[in-house]
Amino acid sequence: MENAIWNLFDLTDKNAVVTGASGGIGYACAIGLAQAGANVVAHYNTNKKTADKLVAEIRKMGKEAFAVQADVSNYEDVNRMAKDIDEMWGKVDILFNNAGIGLTVDPEKSTKEEWLKVIDTNLNGVFYCAQAFGKLMIRDGGGAIINMGSMSAEIINRPEEVSYSTSKAGVHLMTKGLAACWAKYKIRVNAIAPGYIATEMSLPMMRSEPDWVKTNWTDWTPQRRIAEPEELVGMVVYLASEASSFVTGSCLIIDGGFTVY
């Protein structure tokens, strides 16, 4: 009886796909899902070395793990990836739809190509993956999808990243729409919306402009710090597990309080 609560978070024998697994958040959450008992497919686009390192680390835990390459902005490539994983495992229980990019450019200076690169990856790519793996979950009787949103879907914290905030706002509404459509198939669809996290996207600015980051990021965060990728793991495991069995269509902000103002 004393272990009953922990059983709600148990992912033993579940198969999870993590897109963008070679990045800081994806890497940390892939490890967390494996620690909770899941087998993990680590998706990457270009960083095979880090994906292979992640796979080796998960296999040391005694879990199955594989690395797969795909461009999430390419519809055919995503469906090829889903087909390959399905043939390998036979089912997918969890999708952490994490792959994404950012671009800092004044909107009046943005090229068509720059705009489309962000939208194609962050918005279209999330839908392509949700659709491809959602079809498998419909066939197999259910699953959990966790999309990567952002607090920037709710506020304009960086005006020069309008393509990024637009893409993430789309992800939040997509999450709600898919949750409504797929509840009848026992698929739960949620999103996490991080604030400032120390990842490969933010670390260059944190190192090159520490005073600016303190004034504009840290000082406006009630907890007065920037989070580590590992601080998102608990929420991802929660949303992947039976602990969140009545949670769907939610976009859960994890920002140290930044958006309370």
As annotated, the active-site residues are 150, 164, 168
Which of 39, 1, 47 is CA-nearest to residue 21? Answer: 47
The rounded distance, in Å, linking the Cα atoms of 217 and 210 is 10
N-terminal to C-terminal alpha carbon distance within the chain: 42
Q: Please name the residue that has the structure tokens 């959450």.
A: 29
Structure-block tokens of residue 156: 């304009």
Q: Quick one: CA dihedral 60, 63, 66, 67, positive or negative?
A: negative
* Radius of gyration in angstroms for the set of CA atoms belonging to the chain, rounded to a whole number: 18
Strand ranges (E), the chain: 15-18, 39-44, 65-69, 94-97, 143-148, 187-194, 251-254
The rounded distance, in Å, linking the Cα atoms of 148 and 118 is 14
Element (H or E) spanning 235, and its range?
helix 233-240
